[in-house]
Structure 1
């Protein structure tokens, strides 16, 4: 058995397959006879010494994580400041790690989580504490740099494309006497990847979604309304997909909810879908319906992409391998080696190249109208949503998701804070 304990934690918004990564991490570590603790609610669990003993979970329960959505160990939005500004917190983390013989730390999250992994790797190097930190990729926004795609995105993209395709059939059926415009809001603060995924639903000319609003393209209300009116006149109805992060030309979010900033300094967004629906209704006089799937986009494990599931488990396995090899401050990333047939592999990339950076949609992925995707974008997206990986179902017809025991280890230090 390797000497030391591996600590795993989840951060930020969860995905349909983040638990699959956790499952792969725990199974890989067990295969190497390494004890795994999980911090409850991300880095806060480490600060609070609120640690779950995963050895108390059965092999069957750990395997079942792979088909269970949510974040089994809890997550958080909490950003550590610099080593100097938050020195007491870093010292607390060192004390907790030392008390529980933690020698490897895996942080499963997005851009800001990569930043935390980077800072902890720097802390270890600065203090001489024997700790290897690995960032593990996860985000439905697909906005991590370096990696070709991000585990969690493929499943959310599949859910989006399927939902838009199905809703479009509904709208088309009712358009003669009812709804003319349907507005579907997707996640995406600065990057339009999920909005683009809706474009996969379009299978021909004039097919829905006829209008996609990307954060990368400044919102022009007059142009948008003219486009909608043109589509309704030609097709009889129109499906609009809008990213929550669209902005006015001056950079202001169209739907800033006015709720202040979160722990990562992000504006609270929400409501761009109903806002646009009201605009269409008031200025064009058309009957409109709208939807904000919100958490449904990232929790729909029943419609997960098989490719996405395979990505999620592969980065979990690789993260353990990198940790035990002592590769401090890296992240396992997806590398696409071929479009047709789709092939990929996992490689290590420095978290310093990833932390606090965002990958937005390339200009070549948005068509000339600014309201649709190009063939190049479709070629990129299609493999990521391929394949089905349904969960097992109970006799009552509902998915058989697992709930862990979450047995905590005894605390050895004074209470935090």
Structure 2
């Protein structure tokens, strides 16, 4: 039986399947008789010594996490700076780890989280503290380097494609006397993977979505208006999918939420659909409706992809395996071995090749005119939304999601003052 405690923490925006990863981590560790603590609200829990004792939860409850959305232990958007700039925080982390005999640290997040795990591992080595750090992939944006795809993306992509197809049927039914243009806003700051996934909603040229706006291509308003007008005149209506991060040729976001920047230094986005809807109405005179699904894209566990669920659990299991084998500063990544039939496996990749790197859509995935996806993109995306994994439902007609006790261990250190 390995000696020590494993600390698991969730980071950044949650996904429909991040709790499935947590479930797999805890079950894999329990099978090896390793105690698992979880950081309350991510890395903040480690800094504040607010650590949840997962052994207080029944096996049935832990298994039920696999079909429960949200972040069971709480997450946070906190980015630690360099080892020099935030040294006191990193040293505090090691102090907490020592106090609770934490020998394995699993950080479940995106590229910023991979960077944090890498820095913690370097500091532990500097202080000669036996700690193995493993990054665990998660993000609906699908922008992590090295891994073929990111757990969380497949379910959000499925939600997006299904929502766009269903909304398009609604618009088509009303177009003769009502709505002519519908604008759907997809998440994606610099990478338009979710917007691209909307392209799966239609298979023929005149099927929705008729226009997709990607952050990888500069937005030209005049050309956009001309294309909307042409589609309405040809099809009778136009469905537009816009990534929240689309920019003009000079690099300015087309729309933002006016909320300043978050702790990661990111501009608060949101509102591009309403902005475009207003501009289309003013310029072309069409009746326009728009939708901002926002958190719905990443919380829709009822519409999760079976592929995504299986991959989310697989990276959790492998993360524990890698950690207990002493594979420091790595991340379990998904490697595609075949498109048809779709096949994949999990392999370790160095955090140094993932931290703070961002994967955008390859040019070969975007149509030459920049307003749709290619067949190559379809071959990549289609397997990721395949299969259904519905949660169990109760007699009230609602999903049976689980709530944890989240009992804390007794603190051993003085309170932390940021």
2:291 is matched with 291
1:176 is matched with 176
1:379 is matched with 379
1:132 is matched with 132
Secondary structure of 1:261's match? Answer: coil
Residue 209 in 1 paired to residue 220 in 2? no
CA drift of 1:348 comes to: 0.2
* Residues 262-288 of structure 1: per-residue CA shift (max 9 Å, x gap): 111101111000000000000000000
CA distance in 2, matches of 1:271, 1:347: 38
Matches of residues 163-242 of structure 1 in structure 2 within 5 Å? 163-242=163-242
CA distance in 2, matches of 1:257, 1:169: 29
Secondary structure of 2:257's match? Answer: strand
Secondary structure of 1:345's match? Answer: strand
1:26 is matched with 26
CA drift of 1:53 comes to: 0.1
Instruction: Give ranges in structure 2 of 5+ residues lacking alignment.
Output: none
Residue 244 in 1 paired to residue 244 in 2? yes
User: What's the TM-score once normalised by structure 1's chain length?
Assistant: 0.99
Matches of residues 395-410 of structure 1 in structure 2 within 5 Å? 395-410=395-410
CA distance in 2, matches of 1:12, 1:89: 18
CA distance in 2, matches of 1:261, 1:330: 30
CA drift of 1:205 comes to: 2.2
* Residues 224-283 of structure 1: per-residue CA shift (max 9 Å, x gap): 000000000000000000000000101111113232211111011110000000000000
Which stretch has the larger CA shift, 247-256 or 16-25? 247-256
* Residues 1-46 of structure 1: per-residue CA shift (max 9 Å, x gap): 2100000000000000000000000000000000000000010000
CA distance in 2, matches of 1:268, 1:363: 26
CA distance in 2, matches of 1:251, 1:205: 30
1:324 is matched with 324
CA distance in 2, matches of 1:8, 1:286: 51
Secondary structure of 1:260's match? Answer: coil
Secondary structure of 1:378's match? Answer: helix
CA drift of 1:165 comes to: 0.2
Secondary structure of 2:395's match? Answer: coil
1:340 is matched with 340
CA drift of 1:203 comes to: 2.0
CA distance in 2, matches of 1:113, 1:406: 23
CA distance in 2, matches of 1:90, 1:139: 24
Aligned length: 417
Residue 358 in 1 paired to residue 331 in 2? no
CA distance in 2, matches of 1:67, 1:248: 40
Residue 254 in 1 paired to residue 254 in 2? yes
2:275 is matched with 275
1:265 is matched with 265
1:147 is matched with 147
CA distance in 2, matches of 1:51, 1:255: 39
1:116 is matched with 116
RMSD over aligned Cα, in angstroms? 0.5
CA drift of 1:72 comes to: 0.2
CA distance in 1, matches of 2:92, 2:379: 47
Instruction: Give ranges in structure 1 of 5+ residues lacking alignment.
Output: none
Secondary structure of 2:172's match? Answer: helix
CA distance in 1, matches of 2:342, 2:2: 37
Secondary structure of 2:268's match? Answer: strand
CA drift of 1:83 comes to: 1.1
Which stretch has the larger CA shift, 250-259 or 366-375? 250-259
CA drift of 1:138 comes to: 0.1
CA distance in 1, matches of 2:84, 2:373: 45
